[in-house]
Amino acid sequence: MRKISAILSSILFPLSAAVGQPLLNPDEAVNLALTQNLSLRLAQGEADIARQNNTPANAGLLPMVNLAVNETFTLSAFQQRLANGNEFNELGAPFNNLNGSVQLSWVIFEGGRARLAKDRLQALDEQARLNLQAAVQQITAQVLLAYYDVVYSRLQERTFAGLIALNEERLRIAEGRVAAGVAAQTDVLQARVDLNQLRANLLQQEAATAVAKGILNQLLARPPQTPFDVVLFMDVLYEPDRERLLTRAQTESPLLLALQKAAEAAARTVDEANALRGPRITANGQFVALRTDNGAGFIRNNNQAGFAVGASLVMPLYTGGNLKRQVEVARIAAEQASLRLDAQRLDIETAIENQIALFRAQKQVLDLERLNGQAADESLRISLERFRLGQSSALEVQAAQSALEQTRSRQNLALYNLKRTEIQLRLLTADF
């Protein structure tokens, strides 16, 4: 009887890790993914690009200053006759022209378009950072889901392993009863059939575990066959609060906040397009230095240096409706961005409501299956002892064993679904 109780306890509390494999806990898995995952690196690159683009110069708020230097050398036949009758003739006369300037150009008025562009770049920069945060949250959720896929599969393995041990005990009892002449050989044969079925189930579950481990290794940017084992435990301490979750989703969800920034950037684009209809005033200034050397002629060299300033005004009078088209396209894009934001907000609220309902249902299922598990454990314990004493048939033991197998599998599944629902709720509310 004590041996049977020990076997049942091994089904209830399967906490040991696989021998020879390094133990990987959930936090370690997430940390590995956040440093190695390729998708996250791509999101980081997008955020870096947006940050580099968010500058006053890119928005057009700063002047442009250029240095220009030019030199031209000419060797030519030269003939020049002056009004006083003097004449210059030179074959192969050298001429050299050297000039340099520092040029400044600054748009001093364009209807506020540069400031609007800077606001748009700022919104895009913030959107990229929020997208990176959303990617971190998404990768964290994916890793945890993959991790608990492995945990669930390993728990199923342990359930089958414990049931195999129970069935081996049942087979031993049946063989003893047949040897004593108090039972039929069919009891032994049925026990062997059930035992082989459980062993086949275990093999299939081990294959499922290998697949789940490969998926997790892929998320961790590791070779698929990298060995590891998981902590065979899933807590159910999480308790969702509907109002808190809905509020947090509106204020903390990086996906939702990123869409808000996208809508802001789209609105700035409309204002920028409208600003194109107004005048554009550009101030220009330059310092010029010029030297000319002539190998022939009346003027042999010339040096000149000085400042030049000016301004230009450009006012669009007719563009064939192109400006109107740009404004209209920008307006439609802004409306689409706003609609995407509203749709995402509704999707998140709906998903939270659905996940809360699923969580509560799975919590109740888990409580029921735990009670069923206790009853199934006790039923199988009694049936095996009665079978050993010759007070029950093999059919009764088989039924009790099947009930325990189904109960434990349902309990593992309810626990797994509960954990998955928790992860989904944390993802929706950026609560990792």
pLDDT digits (tens, 9 = 90+) for 325-380: 999 999 999 999 999 999 999 999 999 999 999 999 999 999 999 999 899 989 98
The answer to whether residues 7 and 401 touch, using CB atoms and an 8 Å cutoff, is no
The Cα–Cα gap between 15 and 365 comes to 23
The pLDDT of residue 150 is 97
Compute the average pLDDT of residues 42-64.
93
Displacement of CA 51 from its chain's centroid (Å) = 19
Model confidence pLDDT, tens digit, residues 187-210 = 889 889 999 999 999 999 999 999
Average predicted confidence (pLDDT) for the chain: 89
pLDDT confidence of residue 341: 96
Is residue 233 pLDDT above 90, yes or no? no
Supply the pLDDT for residue 116. 93
The pLDDT value given to residue 367: 93
Cβ-based neighbour number of residue 193 at 10 Å: 12
Instruction: Give the model's confidence band at 15: pLDDT under 50 very low, under 70 low, under 90 confident, else very high.
Output: very low
Confidence grade of residue 298 (pLDDT, cut at 50, 70, 90): low
> What pLDDT is recorded for position 203?
97
Per DSSP, the three-state class of 366 is helix
Q: Report yes or no: 63 and 104 within 8 Å, Cβ to Cβ.
A: yes
pLDDT given at position 76: 74
Residue predicted with more confidence, 377 or 146: 146
Sheet containing 280-294: order of strands: 64-81, 87-109, 280-294, 301-314
- Contact call for residues 56 and 118 (beta carbons, < 8 A): yes
Q: What are phi and psi of 231, to 5 degrees?
A: -75, 115
Q: Is the pLDDT of residue 123 over 90?
A: yes
Tell me the percentage of the chain whose pLDDT exceeds 70. 94
pLDDT band at 179 (very low <50, low <70, confident <90, very high): confident
**pLDDT of the residue at 18:** 55
DSSP 8-class letter at 250: H
The string of pLDDT tens digits covering residues 30-48 is 999 998 888 888 889 999 9
Model pLDDT, residue 138: 94
All structural domains of the chain:
2-36+110-278+316-428 (1.20.1600.10)
Tokens matching residue 314: 């450009």
Rounded-to-integer distance, Cα 3 and Cα 23, Å: 29
Q: Residue 6: what pLDDT? A: 52
Is pLDDT at 13 greater than 70 in this prediction?
no
Please compute the mean of the pLDDT values over residues 141-170 and round it to a whole number. 93
User: Over 60: is that where the pLDDT of 23 sits?
Assistant: yes
Query: Residue 164 has which token pair?
Result: 């195999």
Residue 79's φ and ψ, nearest 5 degrees, are: -140, 125
- Give the percent of the chain with pLDDT over 90: 64
108's CB contacts (< 8 A; 6+ apart) are 281, 282, 283, 311
Q: How many CA atoms lie within 13 A of 359 on its CB side?
A: 21
Here the tokens at position 234 are 């899933």
